[in-house]
Amino acid sequence: MRTDQNKILCSYYNDPNPLVLESGQKINEHQIAYETYGKLDKNKSNTILICHALSGDQFVASKHPITGKGGWWNRMVGPEKPINTDRYFVVCANVLGGCMGSTGPSSINPENGKTFSLDFPVITIADIVNAQLRLIEHLGIDRILAVIGGSMGGMQVLEWAASYPKKLVSAIPVATSSRHTAQNIAFHELGRQAIMADPDWKGGNYSETGVSPTKGLSIARMTAHVTYLSEASLTKKFGRKLQDKKDLGFGFDADFQIESYLRHQGLTFVDRFDANSYLYITRAMDYFDLEITHKKNLTEIFKGTRNRFLVVSFTGDWLYPTSENLMIVRALSAAGADVSFVDIDSDKGHDAFLLEEPQFDKTLDGFLSSVYSSLG
Amino acid sequence: MRTDQNKILCSYYNDPNPLVLESGQKINEHQIAYETYGKLDKNKSNTILICHALSGDQFVASKHPITGKGGWWNRMVGPEKPINTDRYFVVCANVLGGCMGSTGPSSINPENGKTFSLDFPVITIADIVNAQLRLIEHLGIDRILAVIGGSMGGMQVLEWAASYPKKLVSAIPVATSSRHTAQNIAFHELGRQAIMADPDWKGGNYSETGVSPTKGLSIARMTAHVTYLSEASLTKKFGRKLQDKKDLGFGFDADFQIESYLRHQGLTFVDRFDANSYLYITRAMDYFDLEITHKKNLTEIFKGTRNRFLVVSFTGDWLYPTSENLMIVRALSAAGADVSFVDIDSDKGHDAFLLEEPQFDKTLDGFLSSVYSSLG
């Protein structure tokens, strides 16, 4: 049942059991905000778990309660769409550490009635997945038909397949990596520094001040956004076109369309995202290294897995390039896993997985249908 | 003669004649700070003009007065080096708009005795080159043997060759572009936003406040620095190595070496660079579009040129990639120019032109020697 437990209308699961984190710290109780689409069948065998990316949320195919915009994967999820809600039961949860209703740094710490802020423990992708597992068990689902996600969502997919292979039939990591590279970490660090340099961040304790580090968060978002697009897509979309003017302004206002666009991206993001959540979630991504968490190499991690895998990358993605995705494919192959790999020709950059890419839709539809039918 | 006109020991040229800018505005008088190496020969035919990049300065092969470090191109400039100071007379000037002694936003406006700050007019690459031309004429040099520069230095080289071909024998644009792309503009805009978001920027009027937007400038530098390196070089140099610790810290201090490195890059930069200069110089780069300035296409601009060209790019440079440099080569070829092109195999990223790349040294040495001998 959808409630507005935290002013955000969606479903909630309140987990009263302590969650032990990868750091060794513990969250005594937590809440996960989620959305579902379609119906769970009588065998409880048609669940697709969608894991969202850094700036995503549970509103994968429903109206966003703050922006009023459609779901971030409307294109992919719905009746007759590749993730066909006439056939599948779709679950998407806001990640632990998030700011759309799941417990995170902007939540109230039940121990002292104050906002967690930086008292919230640093979490990892494994912690996010463990909280999702609790939700899935709470929903009475013993086995997920497919877990799918792009970017940070793909990291969660890999972690699911590494830790809970028996809970899955198939796994679809998209435009991701088995560990965050130095360049990935570097770009995140820029964003974090921008947030922490904003005096309104106040050492993380801005929640009761009536202000928040909107300038810093806006710059963090702008920085990330540039990395999501390819040079080709930027050139195609903006080039050197001027914004509402015929000539250069010879000043520091936005002259070029790309400047206005980025400023807009930054400004609109701060309305729907919490700056501390941004710190925590980027940290979780930077910490992600499947081999370190599992103390094995990638092939050993997946040795003997019965899961079917579909790995998808995009040629224009320079943030999580094809080579990173191929590392996963090679390890899975060496582990004897049933793995399909598609490198989709696209000039849209990392964001391609969210955008109109018919070949991706077709590939996903085909793979899911095949997995679904194989259940008999 | 080297003086310390502005507390920086180097040579100065004070130009009393108004400089009309591309914007139509005018600078009534200005000063250019420069360094020279080697001796001008009796025919005044052995001058090599080096144009520096965004964060460079005139100290191409001499100790930096603030950092105490060696010149930024020590490797390339000196006796027996590719730019052989036993043979050539080398000139390198701090760009107009800079902060190492040339007139810029941190200079005193002679009209009112106050720091220019944002009253300084927005300048362009053409304006920078026009000020250099005045310096060259002041030095009594009628024709430059070679003008060379990488990145923003390369833009100046192209502008020299486009506007003053008769003043040159040869031109060597390195790792550059004939116009700044949307992606280039985007990364600069991030840096500018970071500076302008810093409350210590104070709308540009920080010079008399005793503080300066060091946090914003530091983030701008960090952002730019990431773009100067390739993914391969970051992985090779840092990977996911931790900084002075065995395990993850589960906090927001620098855990990874790449984080410490970037923070260090940011912090040391603010000691030697002015935030407003950073705004003005990045703006000049973003405005750079040779075709717009010259109201002709690239081929027409260079039609009939007698200059010899050497264009150099680096395979690992994703900021000014080979494709951008090839656009210049194709236009020059179509214009009938004498052009050599070398795409140097390197995984060092954009910064490769500043780093140890023996093939670059050899190429440059060979080209310069050939141009020099052709003078007879």
CATH number of the domain encompassing residue B245: 1.10.1740.110
If contacts are CB pairs under 8 Å, which of residues 154-193 in chain A contact chain B? 179-183, 185-187, 189-190, 192-193
User: B27, B122, B178, B190: best mutation site toward chain A, by most A Cβ within 10 Å?
Assistant: B190
B193·A237 Cβ contact <8 A: no
How many whole angstroms separate alpha carbon B85 and alpha carbon A271?
58
- Do residues A208 and A229 both lie within one domain? yes
Q: Give per-residue pLDDT as tens, A196-205.
A: 999 999 999 9
A306 band by pLDDT with thresholds 50, 70 and 90:
very high
How many whole angstroms separate alpha carbon B274 and alpha carbon B217?
8
Q: Does A355 touch chain B (CB under 8 A)?
A: no
Distance of CA A203 to the CA centre of its chain: 26
pLDDT for res B28? 94
Choosing from B237, B252, B282, the residue where a domain stops is B282
How many whole angstroms separate alpha carbon B156 and alpha carbon A128?
51
How many whole angstroms separate alpha carbon A320 and alpha carbon B110?
52
How many whole angstroms separate alpha carbon B231 and alpha carbon B163?
37
Tell me how crowded residue B223 is: count the other CB atoms within 10 A of its CB: 28
Residue B189 host element (H or E):
helix B182-197
Q: Does B290 touch chain A (CB under 8 A)?
A: no
- Do residues A110 and A249 both lie within one domain? no
B54: closest CA among B313, B272, B202, B347?
B272
Distance of CA A13 to the CA centre of its chain: 19
The DSSP symbol for A242 reads: B
Angle between helices B152-163 and B275-287 (to 10 degrees): 50
- Do residues B169 and B266 both lie within one domain? no
Whether residue A34 contacts residue A58, with contact meaning beta carbons closer than 8 Å, is answered with: yes
Choosing from B256, B282, B308, the residue where a domain stops is B282
- Do residues A168 and A311 both lie within one domain? yes
A238·B196 Cβ contact <8 A: no
pLDDT for res A16? 94
Residue A1 in this model has a pLDDT that exceeds 80: no
pLDDT for res B3? 87
Shortest alpha-carbon distance between residue B124 and chain A (Å): 9
DSSP track, B112-127: TTEE-GGGSPP--HHH
For residue B118, what are its two tokens? 């944002």
Q: Apex CA B260: angle with CA B256 and CA B262, to 5°?
A: 110
How many whole angstroms separate alpha carbon B3 and alpha carbon A139?
78
Residue A376 in this model has a pLDDT that exceeds 80: no
- Do residues B239 and B328 both lie within one domain? no
Q: Give per-residue pLDDT as tens, A194-230.
A: 999 999 999 999 999 999 999 999 999 999 999 999 9
Whether residue A297 contacts residue A192, with contact meaning beta carbons closer than 8 Å, is answered with: no
Q: List chain B residues with CB under 8 Å of A283.
A: 252
- Do residues A106 and A135 both lie within one domain? yes
Tell me which residues of B are annotated as active site: 151, 317, 350
Q: Which residues, 6+ apart, have CB-to-CB distance to A155 below 8 Å?
A: A125, A149, A173, A176, A177, A285, A288
User: A180, A223, A347, A350: best mutation site toward chain B, by most B Cβ within 10 Å?
Assistant: A223
- Do residues A248 and A160 both lie within one domain? no
Whether residue A91 contacts residue A77, with contact meaning beta carbons closer than 8 Å, is answered with: no
pLDDT for res B101? 97
How many whole angstroms separate alpha carbon A15 and alpha carbon B162?
69
A287 band by pLDDT with thresholds 50, 70 and 90:
very high
pLDDT for res A146? 98
Residue-range definition of the domain harbouring residue A277: 184-282
Whether residue A215 contacts residue A198, with contact meaning beta carbons closer than 8 Å, is answered with: yes
B266: closest CA among A175, A324, A197?
A197
Q: What percent of chain A has pLDDT over 70?
A: 100
Radius of gyration of chain B (CA): 20
Q: CATH no. for residue B355?
A: 3.40.50.1820
pLDDT for res B1? 74
Q: What residue of B is the nearest CA neighbor of A241?
A: B182
pTM, whole model, 2 decimals? 0.96
- ipTM over cut 0.85: yes
Residue A16 identity: P
- Do residues A236 and A307 both lie within one domain? no
Neighbour-count burial of A299, counting CB atoms closer than 10 A to its CB (0-12 exposed, 13-18 middle, 19+ buried): middle
**Overall number of domains in chain A:** 2
pLDDT for res A3? 87
A375 band by pLDDT with thresholds 50, 70 and 90:
confident
Is A247 part of the annotated catalytic residue set?
Answer: no
CA-CA-CA-CA torsion for A184, A189, A190, A195, nearest 10 degrees?
Answer: 140
SS3 of residue B285 by DSSP: helix
pLDDT for res A106? 97
Number of CB pairs, chain A paired with chain B, less than 8 A apart: 153
Whether residue B274 contacts residue B43, with contact meaning beta carbons closer than 8 Å, is answered with: no
pLDDT for res A353? 96
Whether residue A141 contacts residue A47, with contact meaning beta carbons closer than 8 Å, is answered with: yes
- Residue range A15-29: average pLDDT? 96
Region class of A340: left (phi > 0), else alpha (psi between -120 and 50), else beta: beta
- Do residues A68 and A117 both lie within one domain? yes
Q: Does A121 touch chain B (CB under 8 A)?
A: yes
Whether residue A272 contacts residue A67, with contact meaning beta carbons closer than 8 Å, is answered with: yes
Tell me how crowded residue B241 is: count the other CB atoms within 10 A of its CB: 10
Q: What residue of A is the nearest CA neighbor of B250?
A: A122
A268: closest CA among A228, A216, A316, A214?
A214
- Do residues A222 and A347 both lie within one domain? no
- Do residues B128 and B58 both lie within one domain? yes
Q: Apex CA A361: angle with CA A360 and CA A362, to 5°?
A: 90
Choosing from A231, A266, A282, the residue where a domain stops is A282
Whether residue A135 contacts residue A91, with contact meaning beta carbons closer than 8 Å, is answered with: yes
pLDDT mean for each 10 residues of chain B (376 residues): 85 97 96 98 97 98 96 97 98 98 97 96 98 98 98 98 98 98 96 97 96 97 96 94 92 95 96 98 98 97 97 97 97 98 97 96 97 90
- Do residues B176 and B237 both lie within one domain? no
